[in-house]
Structure 1
Amino acid sequence: MARQEKQVAARGRGRPRAGQELDPGPLLTAALDAFADAGYDGMSVRALSRRLGLSHALFTARFGSKEQLWYAAMDHALAQAARAWRETTANAGGDDFEALRQGIVRQVLFTAAYPQVVRIMNHEGAIDSPRIRYVVERFVNPVRPGVEELLARLQDAGRIRPTPYATLHYLVTNGGGGLYVHPVEAKLLGAALPATPAALREHAETVADMIIGGIALTPAPNRSTPAEG
């Protein structure tokens, strides 16, 4: 066994044994679950290997280290959220109010799909580390200027009150998807988690309407039929 493990390690990082090619998506989602449950420091490589159903040697060959797996798992999820906001702020010629509203809807849908991300950020956001700086620098800062320009246009047009970026960020990322991030608490409060795609979208639309209504200085435009996705 020791000889086999040495051969696995010798194949190089990210290359499992022949016949054991792995679909990274489920593994990265399982890693998000693990880090969300225990935090980065609370989850050992051996515990991660067990949760992912990999031998310790195969884990090392596939991911290299716990740190590299954390980055890969967060990349896997947050790239989707960043892409959605880039598409939202590229809204050339469209209505800025509706663009912002749809950006909020898409963020809530993302949080429902990946509630682990907010749980992980709850661990990471309170303590300075290379991990929290990585998330901010790689995923938040690149899309922030587009969001701030969108807010500035709406403010200059007299359509919204001054809205600090960080305030909107936390209302949308932490507040909008809170039912999914804290499902036990939500159930204790008597909240029923939207279980169907239609119910989930209605929840996301409601969150967006509440946030937009809270910052609007003039009535927001009537709801248009949102595009799926």
Structure 2
Amino acid sequence: MADAAAIRRRGRPRAGEELDATRLLLAALDAFAEKGYDGMSVRELARRIGVSHALLTARFGSKEGLWFAAMEHALTKTEHVWREATNSPDLDDLEALRQGVVRQVMFAATHPQVQRIMNHEGATDSPRVHFIVDRFINPLRPLVEQLLDRLIASGRIRPLPYATLHYLVVGGGGALFASPVEARLLGAPDTPDENTIRRHAESVADVIINGLRT
């Protein structure tokens, strides 16, 4: 598997051709979310954002290298969210769990492409799904499980399989934003504002936390 950070450092734009890395990676997320990994070519993506195919190849090495870099760009943010919540000395354990859920759902609102991409990738055994699990999910899992273990040991919540919590939060909480057409047909606003997003995130967190309480 290529190392995404190393790939991002490789190559330089040709004279007169600038590369806005953030814009490019967000465009890559949009493209992979729309067409899936197999349906999107680097050449088509280069046309979409107005840079040369050679530039993308020089910078990221391959389509898979670009996929790794785009996902790492997005998911690094949610990694920080959970580390802040679980390591905060100012938060009670149950409130730390609640805040982690709220922030995860709010992340899903700003990066709905991630869930759409994982809907493609989660059903297929590939280096890409292993990259997500090994790079982001598994390193955070012990922190969340320690939090859950303390809450279970103190009798405050009932036991819950980690995978169940993961999909309730990531899949269930983020589905409203990852499926905008269906959400609109169910009465959700086309472009929810920050207050609407926060209310949804807090409702999801409250349902999960109240369901876990003993």
Maintained 8 Å contact 2:17/2:51: no
Q: 1:110 aligns with which of 76, 84, 107?
A: 107
3-state secondary structure, aligned to 1:141: helix
Q: Which residue of 2 aligns with 1:97?
A: 94
Q: In 2, distance between residues paired with 1:186 and 1:214?
A: 24
State the aligned residue count: 206
Q: 1:176 aligns with which of 173, 177, 192?
A: 173
Q: In 2, distance between residues paired with 1:186 and 1:196?
A: 15
3-state secondary structure, aligned to 1:21: coil
Q: In 1, distance between residues paired with 2:103 and 2:190?
A: 17
Q: In 2, distance between residues paired with 1:14 and 1:144?
A: 35
Q: In 2, distance between residues paired with 1:159 and 1:75?
A: 35
Identity, % of aligned positions? 65
Matched letter for residue 107 of structure 1: Q
- Please list, as runs of the form range in 1=range in 2, the aligned pairs for 1:7-86 lying within 5 A after superposition: 13-86=10-83
TM-score (norm 1): 0.86
Greater helix fraction, Structure 1 or Structure 2: 2
1:21 CA displacement: 3.0
- Please list, as runs of the form range in 1=range in 2, the aligned pairs for 1:181-196 lying within 5 A after superposition: 181-192=178-189, 195-196=192-193
Q: In 1, distance between residues paired with 2:64 and 2:134?
A: 17
TM-score (norm 2): 0.92
Runs of 4+ in 1 over 6 A off after TM superposition: none
Maintained 8 Å contact 1:108/1:177: yes
1:116 CA displacement: 0.4
* Structure 1: 5+ residue stretches without partners: 1-11, 218-229
Q: In 2, distance between residues paired with 1:174 and 1:194?
A: 20
Q: Which residue of 2 aligns with 1:8?
A: none
Q: In 2, distance between residues paired with 1:210 and 1:83?
A: 24
CA RMSD of aligned residues (A): 1.5
Comparing 133-142 and 200-209, the one that deviates more? 200-209
Matched letter for residue 42 of structure 1: G
Structure number, greater radius of gyration: 1
1:93 CA displacement: 5.7
3-state secondary structure, aligned to 2:139: coil
The superposition leaves residues 167-210 of structure 1 with CA deviations (integer Å, 9 ceiling, x where unpaired) of 00000001111110000011112223562212211111111111
